[in-house]
Amino acid sequence: MIADLTSFSTVISHYERVDPKIAQVLPQINWVDWFEDRPSSDHFYNLTRNIIYQQLAGKVASTIFGRFEKLVTNVTPVNVLAVDDQKLRDAGLSWAKVSYVKDLATKVESQEVSLSHLESLDNEAVITELVKVKGIGRWTAEMFLLFTLHRENIFSYGDLGLKNGFAKLYGISSPSPDKIKMVVSRWSPYESYGSIALWHSLDTK
């Protein structure tokens, strides 16, 4: 699992062989910063957080999620369903996100979507399960795989930040999807480390 970094020397050796550019970035990353505020044990909490954070700047998203947590108190399906929609809207959620978190809560509570067995599923099966929920698409499911389940082989081709990080690190102004796939395919089975390296590269000069 990516967060425990027990196999980090193996990962570094792998990237030194297949992609030296990424290998140079990996030791510069503060891995604790990437994972310390993302509790892995509460899948419903994390998915709710991911929905609320969608398409928002970090500080804005954090503020709105803080209001949401205060309103709900304990983020469980039953508690989310008990809160009036207007109160969620007043906390800063868009009407679309109100419907998304309620749909997640409804489907988890009814067990139409099961979160208890996700660790035992492969990546594509997890994505298939999660996209049953309104507002959860492939990108959100992939972020859940990486930051909550700590899967080591995740690269989200729909993530603009990864595309921009790739362009910066490799000096290609507009990398084609085929070019990105050609490079990333060499990273397997440790694509997640390369993903974080690309995001990290956007924060450095």
- The per-residue pLDDT for range 184-204, each reduced to its tens digit, is 999 999 999 999 999 999 886
Among 16-30, 49-63, 98-112, the range scoring the smallest mean pLDDT is: 49-63
Alpha helices in the chain (DSSP H): 8-18, 20-25, 31-35, 43-53, 58-72, 77-82, 85-90, 95-109, 123-130, 138-147, 160-170, 177-184, 191-202
Report the pLDDT value the prediction gives residue 37, as an integer from 0 to 100.
62
31 band by pLDDT with thresholds 50, 70 and 90: confident
Going from N- to C-terminal start, the domains of the chain cover 2-37+153-202, 43-147
Give per-residue pLDDT as tens, 58-75.
789 999 999 999 999 999
Cβ-contact 119, 149 below 8 angstroms: yes
C-beta neighbour count of 106 within 10 angstroms: 16
Report the pLDDT value the prediction gives residue 164, as an integer from 0 to 100.
95
159 catalytic residue (yes or no): yes
User: Is residue 134 pLDDT above 60, yes or no?
Assistant: yes
Report the pLDDT value the prediction gives residue 80, as an integer from 0 to 100.
98
Report the pLDDT value the prediction gives residue 3, as an integer from 0 to 100.
59
List the catalytic residue out of 85, 159, 178, 203: 159
Q: Which fold has domain 2-37+153-202?
A: Endonuclease Iii, domain 2 (1.10.1670)
Do 2-37+153-202 and 43-147 have matching folds? no
| Domain 43-147 CATH superfamily | Hypothetical protein; domain 2 (1.10.340.30)
Name which of 159, 110, 163, 105 is nearest 135 in CA terms. Answer: 105
Between the CA atoms of 190, 195, 201 and 203, what dihedral angle is there, to the nearest 10 degrees?
Answer: -130
Cβ-contact 197, 26 below 8 angstroms: yes
